[in-house]
Structures are given as structure tokens and as C-alpha cells.
């Protein structure tokens, strides 16, 4: 069985995207529209009723990408000075959750970001006992190889060292403690290092576990190489 991860690579599918207020960035930033969409996560499923893509150029070095589709809403801020992408917000329609759309979008984004020489992705993973159950980023993104920023890392060590855990990755690899994290965890900020072999190896191991469970993704060399 083969399930394609990114449909924006197919011209006739990309042509159905409604691009709003598109202004080509300055000549020294020669990104194509499809490249910008891929930096936002691409098109993870071709069966959409609507797919709106808005590009706001904040400055020659910073621009904002927004997607509003039949199955998700997201915002990304691309910083060409730091060569990083802030994944500001991301919501999958409730009835479509658990189908792997978020994972596909992350893989699409990583592939394009690495190809265009970006260094890292930044995330604020909301949820935990401070929020309602619909906010699950704190637990969901813990499994993908992100590292907490120092402030949240310090809090994690203080609260979870009693379980012998020192990092989010250690927690994600332990099903019992991960279940506990779903109950007692907290919102955190972190980064995904796009060129770090350990980070990519951790992600690859998790994606392989999804394949073993029947979720099929492309293990692109551009993502994991």
C-alpha cells in the first residue's frame, strides 16, 4: 500500500489552491509559490473542498504563511535572518484527527526546509492541565524529536527527574510515562534541529513505528538523509 505524503508536487492539485494576496518576495529571495506552500507543510491530502493559502510579506527577511483548508488551519512565520520557521499555530479539524495529517504536514515541511537550507523549526506546544483537552500539542509533538528550550527544560527536569527522566525524548520512548505526561504534562516551547543526526534519527524511529502500525509514509532521503 502506498500513500503519497505531499500532493502539492502534483501540478493539477496545486492549481486548485487559492493563493490570496500573493506578492513575490524581493529578487534575492527567489522562492516559488509551491516552495512557500511546502514550507507551510504542503498539501497532505488531495481531497479538499477548499484550500486557501495566504502569503504576507512582513519584511524582505520575514514573511507569514497561512493555510485555511477543508481539514486544517495553520500559521507559519519564516525568518530568513535566523533561517528558522516558527510553527505558530496548527489545528486539524476534530473529525479528521488521528489520520496522520499532522505527521504528513511536518514531513513535508522538513523536506522543503532542509532543501532550502533552513536550520530549525520552532514550536510552542500548547496543552496539559492548564488547557482544555482540545489542545494536545504538548503531548502530540513530544514524540517527534523536538528539544525543549532551556526554561521549559529546567521545569521538566525539576518535575520529572523523580521518574529518572531528563528529556522529552526519554519520556516519549516510555509508554507508561508518556501516558502520565498526557495527564500531568504542560505547555512547552522547543526546536527541531533540521540538520542534527540525532534529531532526525529519533523522528525516523517514530515514523517507522507508525509504518509498523499500518500508517504509511514516505521515508524520503531528503528528510532523513
Residue-level pLDDT at 1: 27
- For residue 106, being part of any structural domain is answered with yes
State pLDDT tens for residues 198-220: 999 999 988 888 888 776 656 66
Has residue 2 got a pLDDT over 50? Answer: no
Q: How far apart are CA 65 and CA 88, in angstroms?
A: 10
- Label residue 46 by pLDDT band (50, 70, 90): confident
| Residue 144 vs residue 135, higher pLDDT | 144
Q: What are phi and psi of 69, to 5 degrees?
A: -125, -175
Domain count, the chain: 1
- For residue 80, being part of any structural domain is answered with yes
State pLDDT tens for residues 96-139: 676 678 888 899 999 999 999 999 999 999 887 777 777 788 88
Nearest one of 188, 200, 203 to 148, comparing CA atoms: 188
Q: Which domain holds residue 85?
A: 7-148+188-214
* Contacts with 162 (C-beta within 8 Å, 6 or more apart), sequence order: none
Average the pLDDT over 152-173 and give the result: 94
- For residue 154, being part of any structural domain is answered with no
User: What pTM, to 2 d.p., does this model score?
Assistant: 0.90
- Label residue 3 by pLDDT band (50, 70, 90): very low
- For residue 156, being part of any structural domain is answered with no
Residue-level pLDDT at 145: 92
Out of 133-137, 185-189, 195-199, pick the least confident.
133-137
- For residue 158, being part of any structural domain is answered with no
Residue-level pLDDT at 26: 53
- For residue 79, being part of any structural domain is answered with yes
Residue-level pLDDT at 78: 95
- Label residue 225 by pLDDT band (50, 70, 90): low
CATH code, 95: 3.40.630.30
- For residue 60, being part of any structural domain is answered with yes
- For residue 137, being part of any structural domain is answered with yes
CA atoms within 13 A on the CB side of 59: 5
Amino acid at each position: 500500500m502506498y500513500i503519497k505524503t505531499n500532493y502539492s508536487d502534483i501540478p493539477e492539485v496545486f492549481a486548485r489552491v487559492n493563493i490570496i494576496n500573493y506578492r513575490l518576495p524581493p529578487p534575492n529571495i527567489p522562492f516559488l509559490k509551491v516552495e512557500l506552500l511546502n514550507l507551510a507543510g504542503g498539501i497532505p491530502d488531495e481531497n479538499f473542498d477548499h484550500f486557501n493559502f495566504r502569503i504576507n510579506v512582513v519584511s524582505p527577511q520575514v514573511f507569514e504563511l497561512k493555510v485555511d483548508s477543508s481539514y486544517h488551519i495553520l500559521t507559519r512565520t519564516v525568518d530568513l535572518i535566523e533561517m528558522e520557521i516558527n510553527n505558530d499555530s496548527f489545528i486539524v479539524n476534530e473529525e479528521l484527527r488521528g489520520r496522520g495529517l499532522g505527521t504528513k504536514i511536518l514531513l513535508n515541511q522538513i523536506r522543503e526546509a532542509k532543501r532550502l537550507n533552513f536550520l530549525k523549526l520552532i514550536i510552542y506546544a500548547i496543552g496539559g492541565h492548564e488547557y482544555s483537552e482540545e489542545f494536545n500539542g504538548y503531548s502530540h509533538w513530544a514524540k517527534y524529536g523536538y528539544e525543549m528550550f532551556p526554561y521549559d527544560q529546567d521545569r521538566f527536569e525539576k518535575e520529572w527527574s523523580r521518574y529518572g527522566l531528563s528529556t522529552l525524548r526519554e519520556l516519549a520512548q516510555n509508554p507508561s510515562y508518556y501516558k502520565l505526561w498526557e495527564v500531568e504534562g504542560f505547555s512547552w516551547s522547543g526546536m527541531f534541529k533540521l540538520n542534527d543526526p540525532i534529531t532526525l534519527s529519533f523522528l525516523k524511529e517514530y515514523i517507522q513505528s507508525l509504518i509498523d502500525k499500518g500508517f504509511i509514509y514516505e521515508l524520503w532521503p531528503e528528510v532523513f538523509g
